[in-house]
Amino acid sequence: MQTQRVLDEFKNEPFTDFSKPENAEAMRAALEKVRGELGRDYPVVIDGAKITFDSKFKSFNPANKEEVVGVFSEVDDEVELVEKAISAASEAFKSWRNVSPAERAEYLFKAAEVMRKRKHELSAWMVFEVAKTWAEADGDTAEAIDFMEFYGRELLRWSQEQPVTKIAGEDNSLEYIPLGVGAIIPPWNFPLAIMSGMTMAAVVAGNTVVLKPSSDSPTIAAKFVEILEEIGLPKGVVNFVTGSAKTGEAMVTHPKTRFISFTGSKGVGLHINQVAARPQDGQIWIKRVVAEMGGKDAIVVADDADIDAAALGAVQAAFGFQGQKCSACSRLIVDEKVHDEVLSKVVELTGKLTVGDPTDGTTNVAAVINKRSFDTTLKYISKGVEEGGEIVAGGTGDESKGYFILPTVISNVLPGDTIEQEEIFAPVLAVIKARDYDHALEIANGTEFGLTGSVYSASEERLERAKREFHVGNLYLNRKCTGALVGVHPFGGFNMSGTDSKAGGREYLLQFMQGKSISRKI
């Protein structure tokens, strides 16, 4: 009989200090190891069986666009495989739902142990596959470990006796049971952390899943699936398929799919929500949709702010991972009394960023994810200029080797302008001048999104107003609007930013469970 481990209180995985020579050397060694494994073929995994077929697609390195990171079977033309994967998950659910919470949580703790041992190797895969810098990749891996440790502990908490009001003559209880089979559709921008967190939150709650990673980041997902096999997760609990939106659509519309967990664009998220709401033949439940869809996040700088701190926070939040975070600062809203000073410092700091190959530990900004993103971003920059904006930093791109766009700052942007309203998901920062603090908050709330936001001010009154009036799911005061930590900053947004699912928070697992009230007369 397996003994349940004694758990310490959850603590976030520390980030690696690459200024230490031994850590930098370990990362370089991991990069060389991964470089020697690029271009391998990875199978679909259904009920533990590894399946390949002739129709393939490749995952390329965005910073070296001819370099193949991995080769994958294209499920789109093999529609019956989605049916097979969902059937396998349905069959596995019959037994997995009855596995004890402690045993299910143990798989997450084991996965965390393996990931911790291979931290640099996992990070290196993301350096090659999505052009993360060393620090960004390390943060992604640390967050993935955090999700495993946090959700395992959370399942144990939810499986304890839940408080209900006592009455005479009855023995009453409330317990949380799993939903069934889930479709897991994660994004490419946090291809290990969000992917593994979405997958294993559903799994630890007692569900079984079909995982379809983004076509831009399937290799790191395949590596995670290999870890799940290594730790002995039962066959059929996580089924791994690769393909395009066509495969995802088949997963979402299947009558045996009980829930969909999605992170990605607003358009796709709304489509999933709409399609999932329409019952299919043979469907006996209302499908649940957990969606995190993006943002148009703002940092507000009041006239009494610490200008140096605000400028640094804005640059870090705007250009970390090339601005390809749903939490990234894409709007800098500055009181006109300090606008010129803030803008000058932002431009100066932006000019100091090193743009280059992410395998180089000195690189701050690397390539955007693909050709489509590269082209779209340059069109947005042109649109910003057409509408009256002025490029004061960057503004150009180079795709000769990879999809590199210089960190771009555009001033003279007005509320309602295209680049002030639409999510670009790239290293482009729109700077908007506000008449005063009232006007700044009005501008900040003037989009359809509501994910993250930040306010820099020395005034407690103004910060309190931001708490009440800045309508975002994650509000930061006198710090940047990126860098949410599992357990510390439960993450999810309002309005068109999604269902406010609060990943990394104490209620997140409830998205994947349903409450069952049991009453016995005594």
Burial class (CB in 10 A: 0-12, 13-18, 19+), 12: middle
Q: How far apart are CA 148 and CA 154, in angstroms?
A: 10
Query: Would you say 444 and 297 are in contact if contact means Cβ atoms under 8 Å apart?
Result: no
Non-local (6+) Cβ contacts of 521 within 8 A are 169, 170
Could you write out the DSSP letters of every residue in 252-279?
Answer: HH-TTEEEEEEES-HHHHHHHHHHHTSP
Non-local (6+) Cβ contacts of 145 within 8 A are 13, 112, 115, 116, 119
Catalytic residue among 74, 78, 149, 292: 292
Non-local (6+) Cβ contacts of 118 within 8 A are none
Q: How far apart are CA 467 and CA 475, in angstroms?
A: 7
Catalytic residue among 326, 329, 420, 481: 326
In angstroms, what CA-CA distances link 397 with 306, 391, 430? 32, 13, 17
Strands 257-263 and 181-185: parallel
Is 329 a residue of the active site? no
Q: Report residue 462: phi and psi, to 5°.
A: -70, -40
Query: Would you say 111 and 228 are in contact if contact means Cβ atoms under 8 Å apart?
Result: yes
In one letter, which amino acid is 230? E
Is 292 a residue of the active site? yes
In the structure encoding, which two tokens stand for residue 342, read together? 């803030």
3-state DSSP of 365-409: ECECCCHHHHHHHHHHHHHHHHCCCEEEECCCEECCCCCEECCEE
Q: How far apart are CA 201 and CA 205, in angstroms?
A: 6
- Catalytic center residues: 292, 326
